[in-house]
Chains A and B, each alone.
Chain A
C-alpha cells in the first residue's frame, strides 16, 4: 500500500515540475496532439480509399486504432521510467543511488519519470474509440465494458513487460538496444490493425511472442460481435491475462538481471 502511495506522490510532484514551463509544455502537448491526429488521419485516409479491410468495417478499424492508442500512451504517461528513461538512468550511473534506498528498483524507476504530454495522444485514441463504437453500433453491456477495461489494463502491463526486455538488454550491454523497438513500437504499428490480416509469421509473432492479439484483438473482436478466429466469448476475458503473464515473466528476468548489474562507474 505504502508503495502505491509513494508512486502517486511522485507522479504528483513530477507533473508539477513538468508544468513549471507552461508555454513549452503546452506547445509540446499540442504537437503530440497533432502527431497522433496525423496517425489517425492515416487510418481515415486508408478507409477512404479502400472502404474496408477484409471483414473489418471502418468503425471496427477506428476502434482497433483507439484501443492501441489509449493503451500505448497511458503506458507512456505513467510508465515513462521504464519506457523511456531507463537507459539514461543506467548510463549516467543514477541507478546506483536507487540501489541504496529501501524500496524496489523497479518501483523507484517508475517513480522517476512521467510524461504528461502524452495525454493528448490518449485523447485522440479515446476520440477514435468513441467514433468507432458509434459507427460500428456497438451495443454496450456491463460485460463488454468489463472486457474493454480488462483489455486496457492488461495491455498496459503487456507493454511494460515488453519495455522491460529493453531494460534487461540495457543492463548487460549499457547501450540502449534499438532492435527491441521492433516488438514495442513495431507492435504498436502492426497491431493498431486487427491481427488476422497479416501473414502467418507476423501473426505468430504478435500472438505468441508479444501477445498483442490476445490482449487487445480478442476482446475487441468480442465487443464488435465479430469474434477473432471464431473463438467463443469467454476467451475475451481469459486471453488478456497473457499481458499479466508477460509482465510477471519479464519482472522475474529483470530481477535476475539486476543481480548482474555492474555500475558504469560514472
Chain B
C-alpha cells in the first residue's frame, strides 16, 4: 500500500466528511456557475478545466518521460508507487507543495516570485484558443494563432526574470542562453507560420482544422499543391518548437552538467513546480500547434469519427516524439544551435515562403 499506516490513521477522520463535502461542493459549484448569465460560465468552467488539464499533463508527462527514458535505457522506470508507478507524480506533487519556498539572500523578491507565473500563465492562456474538438474550445478567437505566439514570447521573459532575479551566476548565464536561443528559433518558426497563414488564409485555429477535413491526404503536411516542401516545413516547425521550449537536444538553458539546473537553480518547492508545469504546458502547446497546423487537428485520418480523441492521439504521439528525441540526442553546443538556425532552418524556411507564394500565384486555392 502507498500510505504509511500512521498516515492512514491520521487521515481516517477526514475520509467521511470529504466524501460528503466533495460532491456537495461540485454540485454547488455547478449550480452557481449555471446561474451566471451569458457566456461567462463557459469561460470559467473551461479555465478551471484547462488549468486541471495543464497540471495533470505536467504530472503525467513527467511520468511518461521517466517511463520512455527508462525503456530506452533498458530499465523499467517508476513502478513502486501504485500500479506502474502511476501515483508517483501525485506523490512528487505533494512533496513539492509541502516544501518550503526558500528565498535566498540577495535575490530580487518580486521578480523571483513572479517569474514562474510568467512561464505558466501564458501557457495556460494559450490553451484557451486550442480547439480540442469541433465545439471544444474555450474561445474560438479569429486571431488564435497570433495570440498563441504573442503569449509564447512572454514565456521567454519569465525565464529571463527568473534567472536575473535569482542573483545566481548560473541562472543568469542560463537565462541569457535561453533568450538568445528563443530569439534565434522564433524566426524560422514565425516564417513557417506566415507560410501557413498564406496557405490557409486565416488565423482561426478551428477553421484551419476544418480546411483539413476528409482523408489524411488533405492534411497540410501532405498539401503538395501548396508547397512541395510541406513535410520539411512540418519538421522545421517541430524542431523549432523543441528549441522554443528549451527541450533536449536544445536544453542549453538548463544544461545540468554545466549550469546545475539553469534558471530554476534557486527555486525550491512549488516555485520549481510551477516552472516545471509551465515547461510541460509549453510542450503541449507546441505539439498542439503542430497538430493543428499540419496534422489535421481533431480530423480523423479516414474521414469518419472525427473528434477530440484524434486530437489527443496526435498530440500525445508528437509529445512522445519530443521525449524520444530528448533521450536520443546529446545536447548541442551554443554555436551548433545558432548555426542550425541561421544557416539551415532560416534559409530553407525563406525558400519555402517564396516557393509557397509562387505556387499560390500559379494555383490559387
- Chain A partners chain B: no
